[in-house]
Amino acid sequence: MPFQISAELRYTVFEQSTLLLNLHALETSNQTITDESFTVTQSATCEFSPLETGENRYVRLDTSGVSDLLINYDVTVATNPSVREVHAISHITLAMIEHEVLPYLFASRYCQSDRLGRLASKHFGHITHPLAQASAVSGWIFENIDYVSGSTDTGTSAEDTVTQRAGVCRDFAHLGIAFCRALCIPARYFTGYACEMQPPDFHACFEVCVGNEWFVFDPTRLSAPNVLVRIATGRDAADSSVVSIFGAVQLEWMSVSCTADSFLPMTPEEMTGKAILLEP
Amino acid sequence: MPFQISAELRYTVFEQSTLLLNLHALETSNQTITDESFTVTQSATCEFSPLETGENRYVRLDTSGVSDLLINYDVTVATNPSVREVHAISHITLAMIEHEVLPYLFASRYCQSDRLGRLASKHFGHITHPLAQASAVSGWIFENIDYVSGSTDTGTSAEDTVTQRAGVCRDFAHLGIAFCRALCIPARYFTGYACEMQPPDFHACFEVCVGNEWFVFDPTRLSAPNVLVRIATGRDAADSSVVSIFGAVQLEWMSVSCTADSFLPMTPEEMTGKAILLEP
Amino acid sequence: MPFQISAELRYTVFEQSTLLLNLHALETSNQTITDESFTVTQSATCEFSPLETGENRYVRLDTSGVSDLLINYDVTVATNPSVREVHAISHITLAMIEHEVLPYLFASRYCQSDRLGRLASKHFGHITHPLAQASAVSGWIFENIDYVSGSTDTGTSAEDTVTQRAGVCRDFAHLGIAFCRALCIPARYFTGYACEMQPPDFHACFEVCVGNEWFVFDPTRLSAPNVLVRIATGRDAADSSVVSIFGAVQLEWMSVSCTADSFLPMTPEEMTGKAILLEP
Amino acid sequence: MPFQISAELRYTVFEQSTLLLNLHALETSNQTITDESFTVTQSATCEFSPLETGENRYVRLDTSGVSDLLINYDVTVATNPSVREVHAISHITLAMIEHEVLPYLFASRYCQSDRLGRLASKHFGHITHPLAQASAVSGWIFENIDYVSGSTDTGTSAEDTVTQRAGVCRDFAHLGIAFCRALCIPARYFTGYACEMQPPDFHACFEVCVGNEWFVFDPTRLSAPNVLVRIATGRDAADSSVVSIFGAVQLEWMSVSCTADSFLPMTPEEMTGKAILLEP
């Protein structure tokens, strides 16, 4: 089921600024891209990051001489997620994880895993398999945090969400990452498109690394892991937000859509005892 | 069962400073004081606050010309706590509580009740009687927060304790107060002596006001409500700590004891369905 | 110059709630009230706090059975502030301040004076007279914090404002209080009306106690101390906000005006070397 | 002037744990390593990270079956820092910095640059050259933050240091990084050895990227940039601390020394108008 994706962003530019855009679907061995088009108000200067970069496809945009900035992105993406039996995934020790995975064990701006050790251990310490822990983390967040649009802002972190118990997909993902890292499970932020999500928007989830493979979890349950399209991954929203603005630029309007002709999201029942990899 | 109380504090004074001491047992209709003695290194100047003040018996101490400050306090105190049946305590609305109780509804330095509303409501919102709520709050803290000496400092607040899940009696009391205020139950900080507590130290609990009476709870369960001697109450430790120092003074050594010839702390079983008032 | 004050607040009530209103001008020896009228949507139940209370005139409002709540308050107030020469105000030690002033030395919800000691000492520690310190604090805030409507919310505290350098009158007052308490100067929150302030709104300032008298400072410089009308004082906005809501009530619309036929705000030049007392 | 470096760490191990050690001097084109020896209590299992990794030389250590863990590291290191004239360093725009430098623009665990924009702009926004800004940041920290051993802990972040005005080298570096990122200058954490530093310890500084070269600053002024030996760099101490512990292990004793036969630290006068690169 290929996904038709469309994103449009309109900004007012107040002074010469640089934007770092992170809205291109990533090309991976499991994610195939066709019919891609990206247009920006003519006079803005774009620089595309080299494609070999695995984690994102940054576009840098220099706004000098632009007052109204319009960005359009359209693409068709086919994905091929894999489903595994949790019990069949080998449980390796920290000492055996790959070197490049190590940074995802450390605390980051919005994921203060260093402060959540005792809480994570109380809630999830009795579970032995790390994927079962991550699944329990995701379920706990869904049960205990209210999804409330507008309840948080760009300064909100996992620690705030533990206390305040409300947030949006970004906050849910941050808390999932923080808990998993506190349990010594490498975890990263996933930003992408989600098919037919209501309301339509960019989406955020989290991925954990077990046995040197990355499994995805959506603690909001607003989407299903098999209908996600990856844009980027990072330590948290600080390094993988859709748009990072350096200067004075204001978002005026945004529209995102992700649809498919046939669309079969996995149900919670289908996911019981399973874990989903977006990449092989 | 009268309690024999003894406290000794030794400080080094580095410059002319003012100490606000809060270690005298309060005289109330239910708390009778005999054989009280209070001595301070001779050259320090003491000013005792007027006795009619209901909430504490501050001693102000001017250290000019003193380098080693030694404070000794001894007293015998008889108390007469009352035990009530929770179901017999009338449940009045916020609109009917006494005017002077209102300040205990508001957030304070260490009790950010304004940030814990959703969490308090999730955990305790289904309970109808405010005393049953306060009792559930106290039990939840006992079950979910680890008592770990040295795990916190004077900057630690209820919000930190929700996240970090460890603390000492002061932190347990702050969290109890914050949850209760978030539930619209007036709550205050209690500081006092606790008979035979191990290790011996000053103790902190919290009191809630229901039906215009104040009931005491000890979420640490290190003591029992019927073997407490009140020193002071306040919004939180910011205004009822045992010693507030304005200047450069360092604690070198401290010793506290509270004993009784006969000593019958209430057991958790005896307290089931009951609530304890220290004052009538 | 008597001030004509008018305030109107309109709320939607979603469930039975209690509001604590704090918008009546206080009657003091220096503040005379005439032609006062206060009306509330008919079916709401009001309870007025006893007038002898010095610090505020709370109105408790029970909204049961009300869906749209309209509150109107009109009053004429004459004030009589005093102007003193700073150098003539006696500088007493902490050990001599009145007992009831002590609570204003302690840290509170929005004024974490316990965390700002080193910063306060660096900026203001070299100034000897406490009123000159308070004046320097007020000036520093005016120079270093940007007044930006909407930049903060009800969770913002003095500590945040030190870092983020923007806020509104409430935040400016909180920072002034926190700095002064860190310097061992008792300080409290003032909420009131300010003549011809632009934009019209309730106003917040801070008062410091020197020589057992309270002097007022407005670090926003949006008003002048001699054209203020006091509503209430407290430790900070947690206990003196205009409206405290216990329940589910939403502000829909608000209007405040404070005018005078003749209106002569003191200029910064006139205030040089002076300090203003609202009460004698 | 080659540096003789020696580090010894002794731990008690309470359960099977993994340590990530980050104490090997990095081999770079400007940093030459000879006579290196690294020994660990025999039964611990070590895995050395591949040497091609540019930013650190992690050693992973599995403690199973070990109760006392002793780590010894000795090395001789020759460095070759370059000194540049600030005015000769080209000032490139954000749009031209290299792709791999981008992550150092983003906020991280201990460097909340997203919250310090207004403060950074007020203090340093008037300075035009980014290296002059970074130098002013380093000088401001030296002037305004007190170096106080034991004043902070592993939870302390740049935001705390702005408020509390005290810290150690780690805190100074974090604040430098946070300010620079808030000014859109990429900045990273440097951890290493510093010749003859008093008291001897591991050291932390910060580096900023201007014109795609990294310049080093030591806001503590406890060392000089030309007598530093690099261990690692990272976003902040979260990913470049000397030892990261996953498990239950307690440091019992630590000793660090870094000496040289001839030792000529640059003076502040020699550094005026200059900037130092550790790598070419």
φ/ψ of C110, rounded to 5, equals -105, 0
Q: Do D109 and A108 touch (CB under 8 A)?
A: yes
Task: Give the span between the Cα atoms of B98 and C47, in whole angstroms.
Answer: 11
Q: Which of D140, D162, D165, D179 to mutate to test the interface with C (most CBs of C within 10 A)?
A: D165
List, in sequence order, every residue forming a beta bridge with A256; answer none if it has no partner. Answer: A7
Q: Which of C40, C48, C109 to mutate to test the interface with B (most CBs of B within 10 A)?
A: C109
Q: What is the pLDDT of residue B269?
A: 87
Q: Do D118 and C159 touch (CB under 8 A)?
A: no
Chain B: give the shortest CA distance to residue A152, in Å. 12
Task: Give the span between the Cα atoms of D98 and D101, in whole angstroms.
Answer: 5
| pLDDT for residue A52 is more than 60 | no
Q: What is the pLDDT of residue A5?
A: 98
Q: Are D67 and D12 in contact (CB under 8 A)?
A: yes
Give the number of C-alpha atoms closer than 13 A to the C-alpha of residue D55, restricted to the C-beta side: 17
List, in sequence order, every residue forming a beta bridge with D74; answer none if it has no partner. Answer: D6, D37
φ/ψ of A170, rounded to 5, equals -60, -45
Sole residue written with tokens 């705000």: C265
Q: What is the pLDDT of residue D100?
A: 85
Q: What is the pLDDT of residue A214?
A: 95
E strand or H helix at D132: helix D130-144
Please tell me which of the candidates C119, C122, C165 has its beta carbon nearest to residue D119. Answer: C165
Please tell me which of the candidates C49, C111, C155 has its beta carbon nearest to residue B115. Answer: C155
Task: Give the span between the Cα atoms of B220 and B167, in whole angstroms.
Answer: 10
Burial of residue B121 (number of CB atoms within 10 Å: 0-12, 13-18, 19+): middle
What is the Cα gyration radius of chain D? 19
* Chain B residues with a Cβ under 8 Å from any Cβ in chain A: 115-116, 118-119, 122, 144, 146, 159, 162-166
- Of C134, C237, C233, residue with least CA distance to C183: C134
Burial of residue D128 (number of CB atoms within 10 Å: 0-12, 13-18, 19+): exposed
| pLDDT for residue C52 is more than 80 | no
Q: Which of C165, C175, C179 to mutate to test the interface with D (most CBs of D within 10 A)?
A: C165
Count of C-D CB contacts under 8 Å:
30
Q: For residue B224, give every residue at least 6 positions away whose Cβ sits within 8 Å of its Cβ, in sequence order, or none.
A: B218, B265, B266, B267, B271
Residues of chain B with confidence (pLDDT) below 70: 50-55
Q: What type of residue sits at position D155? A: G
* Chain A residues with a Cβ under 8 Å from any Cβ in chain D: 18, 20, 45, 47, 49-50, 53, 58, 60, 62, 93-95, 99, 102-103, 105-109, 111-112, 114-115, 154-155, 184, 235, 238-239, 244, 246
Please tell me which of the candidates D47, D50, D106 has its beta carbon nearest to residue A95. Answer: D47
Task: Give the span between the Cα atoms of D163 and B232, in whole angstroms.
Answer: 31
Chain C: give the shortest CA distance to residue D179, in Å. 11
Q: Are D193 and D202 in contact (CB under 8 A)?
A: yes
Q: What is the pLDDT of residue C47?
A: 81
* Chain A residues with a Cβ under 8 Å from any Cβ in chain B: 115-116, 118-119, 122, 144, 146, 159, 162-166
Both tokens of B213, joined, read 């009476």
Q: pLDDT for C57-98, tens place per residue?
A: 888 898 887 889 999 999 999 999 999 998 889 877 777 788
Q: Are B245 and B192 in contact (CB under 8 A)?
A: no
Using a CB-CB cut-off of 8 Å, the residues of chain D touching C146 are 118
Q: What is the pLDDT of residue D79?
A: 95
Task: Give the span between the Cα atoms of B17 and A248, in whole angstroms.
Answer: 50
Task: Give the span between the Cα atoms of A66 and A171, in whole angstroms.
Answer: 33
Q: Give the chain D residue whose CA is nearest to the CA of A48.
A: D99
Using a CB-CB cut-off of 8 Å, the residues of chain A touching D114 are 109, 154-155, 238
Q: pLDDT for C218-237, tens place per residue?
A: 999 999 999 999 999 999 99
Q: pLDDT for C134-153, tens place per residue?
A: 999 999 999 999 999 999 99
Q: Are A233 and A190 in contact (CB under 8 A)?
A: yes
Q: Is the peptide bond before A225 cis (omega within 30 degrees of 0)?
A: no
Please tell me which of the candidates B115, B119, B146 has its beta carbon nearest to residue A118. Answer: B146
Q: Which of D153, D160, D239 to mutate to test the interface with A (most CBs of A within 10 A)?
A: D239
Chain D: give the shortest CA distance to residue A255, in Å. 26
Q: What is the pLDDT of residue D37?
A: 95
Q: Do B163 and A166 touch (CB under 8 A)?
A: no
Using a CB-CB cut-off of 8 Å, the residues of chain D touching A111 are 109
Q: Give the chain D residue whose CA is nearest to the CA of C112.
A: D163
Task: Give the span between the Cα atoms of B36 and B24, in whole angstroms.
Answer: 9
Q: Which of C164, C171, C179 to mutate to test the interface with D (most CBs of D within 10 A)?
A: C164
Q: What type of residue sits at position D65? A: G
CA dist C110 to B233, C210, C217, D69, D155, Å?
21, 22, 18, 46, 22
Both tokens of B240, joined, read 């009822």
Q: For chain B, how far is it from start to end, CA to CA, in angstroms? A: 18
Task: Give the span between the Cα atoms of B184 and B135, in whole angstroms.
Answer: 15
Please tell me which of the candidates A118, A144, A166 has its beta carbon nearest to residue B164. Answer: A118
Q: Do D164 and C122 touch (CB under 8 A)?
A: no
- Of C207, C215, C184, residue with least CA distance to C113: C184
Q: Do B165 and A119 touch (CB under 8 A)?
A: yes
Q: What is the pLDDT of residue D66?
A: 81
Q: For residue B170, give every residue at least 6 positions away whose Cβ sits within 8 Å of its Cβ, in sequence order, or none.
A: B152, B156, B204, B237
Q: What is the pLDDT of residue B94?
A: 78
Q: What is the pLDDT of residue C32?
A: 94
Residues of chain D with confidence (pLDDT) below 50: 52-53
Both tokens of D46, joined, read 């070590």
Q: pLDDT for B54-82, tens place per residue?
A: 567 888 898 887 889 999 999 999 999 99
ipTM of the complex: 0.93
Q: Are C228 and C25 in contact (CB under 8 A)?
A: no
How confident is residue A262, by pLDDT bands cut at 50, 70 and 90? Answer: confident
Q: What type of residue sits at position D191? A: T
Q: What type of residue sits at position B174? A: H
Task: Give the span between the Cα atoms of B156 and B160, in whole angstroms.
Answer: 6
Q: Are C214 and C278 in contact (CB under 8 A)?
A: yes
| pLDDT for residue A93 is more than 80 | no
Using a CB-CB cut-off of 8 Å, the residues of chain B touching C40 are none
Chain C: give the shortest CA distance to residue D145, in Å. 9
Apex CA A92: angle with CA A90 and CA A97, to 5°?
Answer: 125
* Strand order through the sheet with D243-246: D45-48, D59-62, D18-21, D243-246
Q: Are D216 and D276 in contact (CB under 8 A)?
A: yes
Task: Give the span between the Cα atoms of B170 and B191, in whole angstroms.
Answer: 9
Q: Do D163 and C162 touch (CB under 8 A)?
A: yes
> What SS3 class is residue A123?
helix
Task: Give the span between the Cα atoms of D268 and A18, in whole angstroms.
Answer: 35
- Measured N-to-C along each axis, helices B130-144 and B169-182 cross at an angle, to the nearest 10 degrees, of 140
The CB density around residue C245, as the number of other CB atoms within 10 Å, is: 18
Q: Are B138 and B268 in contact (CB under 8 A)?
A: no
Apex CA C123: angle with CA C120 and CA C129, to 5°?
Answer: 85
Q: Do D106 and A239 touch (CB under 8 A)?
A: yes
Q: For chain C, how far is it from start to end, CA to CA, in angstroms? A: 18
Q: For residue B191, give every residue at least 6 positions away whose Cβ sits within 8 Å of its Cβ, in sequence order, or none.
A: B22, B202, B203, B204, B230, B231, B232, B233, B234, B237, B240, B241, B242
Chain D: give the shortest CA distance to residue A165, in Å. 21
Task: Give the span between the Cα atoms of C172 and B102, in whole angstroms.
Answer: 25
Chain A: give the shortest CA distance to residue B195, in Å. 31
How confident is residue C54, by pLDDT bands cut at 50, 70 and 90? Answer: low
Cα dihedral across residues C115, C120, C121, C123: positive or negative: positive
Task: Give the span between the Cα atoms of B5 and B28, in whole angstroms.
Answer: 17
Q: What percent of chain C has pLDDT over 70?
A: 98
| pLDDT for residue A53 is more than 70 | no
Q: What string of H, E and C letters represents the secondary structure of A165-208?
A: CEECHHHHHHHHHHHHHHCCCCEEEEEEEECCCCCCCCEEEEEE
Q: Do A119 and B166 touch (CB under 8 A)?
A: no
Using a CB-CB cut-off of 8 Å, the residues of chain C touching B107 are 109, 238
Task: Give the span between the Cα atoms of C258 and A96, in whole angstroms.
Answer: 71
Q: What string of H, E and C letters represents the secondary structure of chain C?
A: CCEEEEEEEEEEECCCCEEEECCCCCCECCEEEEEEEEEECCCCEEEECCCCCCCCCCEEEECCCCCEEEEEEEEEEEECCEEEEHHHCCCCCHHHCCHHHHHHHCCECCECHHHCHHHHHHHHCCCCCHHHHHHHHHHHHHHHCEECCCCCCCCCCHHHHHHHCEECHHHHHHHHHHHHHHCCCCEEEEEEEECCCCCCCCEEEEEEEECCEEEEECCCCCCCHHHEEEEEEECCHHHHCCEEEECCEEEEEEEEEEEECCCCCCCHHHHCCEEEECCC
Give chain A's length. 280
Apex CA C151: angle with CA C146 and CA C155, to 5°?
Answer: 115
- Of D218, D238, D247, D242, residue with least CA distance to D155: D238
Please tell me which of the candidates C93, C238, C244 has its beta carbon nearest to residue B108. Answer: C238
E strand or H helix at B173: helix B169-182
